[in-house]
């Protein structure tokens, strides 16, 4: 046999010899796109008429084996083909409906995962009100965070999102290193459909905004397209309001300051390398004795207020239900449920919330912009402590080597250059066509003092941007060395 069409299913039939001329029916489950046809396949016996009949509509298989003359028994051939056709069609419709329902549910879940709070937006006119609501909620939340931080003596400032961090759906791809085989995710086709749907939605919103702006010139300076106010959060892959990707700058009068944006890598003194996710409000867990007494008193007052509102008797279950709300999200009283502004840092095995008044324990990871991202540390275990101890030991050893080197250099002496040769150096300086800058003049004097008026070898590094005259400083020093009968060499590497 050969595969006749895309929808054909391969069936393995095991035939057990039951005697001559047996006929029976075997139910077949077939793909819904299989066309209706009737085929016959000989089974290969010359003296017997074994034949496999593939039933029309794929409902049955009639199999007869044995010669025509031989007698036998048969079953399953009831002639009720129409009933079987109806049942098979009904089964196919039920399966199709189940698959469509599963596809719809999967698409809704994926859409909620990628679009976040915008998953229920189906019309362009619904986008702007939702964005305004999100912006107001974020602004109110930031004001509360700043107030709580100020109560701890910490300045809290919200920074505008970085333009490099803003990207639309499908625009935040990252460079990946692999074996060269291009693999496609199972979600690729669905994600492309969701991307096209979002682009169509935002395109309609932009067209509606342009139409309104053309009617009212003053409004064009204030309102913008919803697509400009939505970006992809790289840490979660969800669509979020642009203001949700804003950075923060925290600091105190003591002099420490920290500026971070969502996705930046930071280093905690105790926990190691982590990734900053966001700022949030968390219930304060460590309360002082005065705060705990005030909390207990306030909760008693709140319970009494709730009981006075009840006109009928109160059961112990109701009292317990009121008390269960204390310390939860429903408890908005600042004394009963004190909040604190924290920085949320994600690690390989945990999420750590660092209060803003302890943010001095954090520092930005200096190589966070490298192509190869750092490996997140683990909160549990001794890996970070051992790595830090190893670095401290190597740093101490390097410092000892540097101190020994400089101590050795201080013991070295040489014969200073002849001051009388400085006239030749001055004459050489007149050959330069440019007037030295103030910084160059200071370098000339420092180098002259090292080479002419000191009896120790010169050990100096001149730093400057490209085109600021470092080579001129080096050429004067070279000429001075050659004029005093010494050897000199100029190395000009293209990169360091």
Q: Are residues 57 and 121 in the same domain?
A: no
Q: How confident is the model over 403-443, as pLDDT tens digits? A: 999 888 888 888 889 989 899 998 998 888 888 888 988 99
Q: Are residues 122 and 199 in the same domain?
A: yes
Q: Are residues 121 and 230 in the same domain?
A: yes
- The model carries a pTM of 0.61
Range of the domain at 121: 113-151+162-173+186-216+225-239
Q: Are residues 133 and 212 in the same domain?
A: yes
Mean pLDDT of 274-301: 89
In a domain, 319, yes or no: yes
Beta carbons of 319 and 333 less than 8 angstroms apart: no
Contacts of 95 (CB under 8 A, 6+ apart): 32
Indicate the SS3 state at residue 129: helix
In a domain, 479, yes or no: yes
Q: How confident is the model over 306-356, as pLDDT tens digits? A: 888 877 777 888 888 888 888 888 888 888 888 899 999 999 999 999 999
Q: Are residues 72 and 143 in the same domain?
A: no
Beta carbons of 369 and 169 less than 8 angstroms apart: no
In a domain, 307, yes or no: yes
In a domain, 463, yes or no: yes
The larger pLDDT score, comparing residue 344 to residue 181, is at: 344
Predicted local distance difference test score (pLDDT) of residue 304: 87
Q: Are residues 194 and 143 in the same domain?
A: yes
b/e burial code for range 385-419 (CB count within 10 A of at least 16 → b): eeeeeeeeeeeeeeeeeeeeeeeeeeeeeeeebee
Beta carbons of 212 and 223 less than 8 angstroms apart: yes
Q: Are residues 18 and 72 in the same domain?
A: yes
Indicate the residue among 27, 59, 79 that finishes a domain.
79
In the chain, how many domains are there?
A: 4
Q: Are residues 72 and 130 in the same domain?
A: no
Mean pLDDT of 43-54: 42
Task: Indicate whether 390 pLDDT > 70.
Answer: yes
Q: CA-CA distance, 124 to 417, in Å (whole number)?
A: 81
Beta carbons of 28 and 59 less than 8 angstroms apart: yes
Q: CA-CA distance, 310 to 315, in Å (whole number)?
A: 11
Predicted local distance difference test score (pLDDT) of residue 13: 39
Indicate the SS3 state at residue 426: helix
Q: Are residues 307 and 425 in the same domain?
A: no
Indicate the SS3 state at residue 477: helix
Q: CA-CA distance, 210 to 223, in Å (whole number)?
A: 10
Task: Indicate whether 18 pLDDT > 50.
Answer: no
Q: Are residues 1 and 57 in the same domain?
A: yes
Share of residues in the chain with pLDDT > 90 (%):
23
pLDDT band at residue 78, thresholds of 50, 70 and 90?
Answer: low
Q: Are residues 137 and 66 in the same domain?
A: no
* Mean model confidence pLDDT for the chain: 77
Beta carbons of 88 and 96 less than 8 angstroms apart: no
pLDDT band at residue 59, thresholds of 50, 70 and 90?
Answer: very low
In a domain, 313, yes or no: yes
In a domain, 232, yes or no: yes
Q: Are residues 233 and 131 in the same domain?
A: yes
Predicted local distance difference test score (pLDDT) of residue 350: 92
Q: How confident is the model over 231-271, as pLDDT tens digits? A: 887 777 788 888 888 899 999 877 889 999 998 999 999 99
In a domain, 348, yes or no: no
């Amino acid at each position: 046999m050969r595969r006749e069409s895309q929808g054909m299913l391969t069936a393995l039939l095991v035939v057990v010899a039951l005697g001559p001329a047996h006929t029976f029916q075997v139910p077949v489950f077939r793909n819904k796109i299989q066309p209706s046809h009737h085929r016959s396949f000989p089974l290969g016996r010359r003296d017997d008429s074994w034949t496999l009949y593939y039933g029309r509509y794929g409902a049955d298989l009639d199999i007869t084996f044995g010669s025509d003359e031989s007698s036998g028994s048969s079953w399953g051939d009831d002639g009720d083909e129409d009933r079987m056709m109806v049942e098979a069609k009904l089964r196919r419709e039920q399966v199709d409906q189940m698959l469509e329902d599963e596809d719809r549910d999967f698409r809704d879940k994926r859409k909620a995962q990628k679009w976040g709070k915008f998953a229920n937006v189906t019309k362009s006119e619904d986008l702007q009100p939702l964005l305004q609501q999100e912006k107001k909620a974020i602004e109110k939340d930031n004001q509360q965070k700043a107030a709580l931080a100020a109560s701890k003596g910490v300045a809290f400032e919200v920074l505008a999102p970085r333009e490099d961090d803003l990207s639309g759906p499908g625009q935040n791809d990252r460079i990946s290193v692999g074996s060269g085989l291009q693999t496609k995710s199972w979600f690729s086709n669905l994600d492309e459909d969701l991307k096209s749907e979002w682009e169509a939605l935002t395109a309609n919103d932009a067209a509606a905004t342009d139409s309104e702006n053309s009617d009212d010139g003053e409004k064009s300076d204030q309102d913008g397209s919803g697509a400009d106010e939505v970006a992809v959060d790289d840490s979660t892959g969800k669509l979020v309001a642009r203001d949700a990707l804003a950075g923060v700058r925290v600091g105190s009068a003591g002099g420490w300051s920290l500026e971070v944006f969502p996705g930046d890598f930071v280093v905690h003194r105790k926990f190691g390398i982590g990734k900053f996710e966001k700022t949030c409000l968390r219930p304060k867990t460590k309360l002082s004795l005065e705060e705990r007494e005030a909390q207990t008193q306030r909760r008693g007052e709140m319970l009494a207020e709730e009981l006075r509102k009840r006109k009928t008797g109160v059961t112990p279950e109701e009292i317990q239900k009121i008390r269960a709300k204390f310390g939860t999200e429903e408890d908005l009283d600042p004394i009963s449920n004190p909040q604190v502004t924290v920085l949320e840092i994600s690690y390989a095995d945990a999420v750590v919330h660092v209060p803003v008044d302890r943010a001095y324990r954090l520092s930005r990871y200096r190589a966070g912009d490298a192509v190869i991202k750092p490996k997140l540390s683990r909160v549990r275990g001794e890996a970070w402590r051992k790595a830090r101890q190893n670095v401290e030991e190597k740093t101490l050893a390097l410092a000892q080597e540097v101190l020994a080197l400089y101590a050795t250099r201080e013991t070295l002496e040489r014969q200073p250059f002849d001051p009388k040769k400085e006239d030749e150096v001055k004459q050489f300086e007149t050959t330069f066509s440019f007037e030295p800058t103030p910084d160059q003049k200071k370098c000339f004097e420092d180098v002259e003092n090292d080479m002419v008026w000191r009896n120790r070898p010169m050990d100096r590094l001149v730093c400057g941007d490209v085109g600021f005259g470092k080579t001129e400083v080096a050429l004067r020093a070279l000429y001075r060395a050659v004029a005093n009968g010494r050897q000199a060499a100029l190395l000009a590497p293209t990169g360091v």
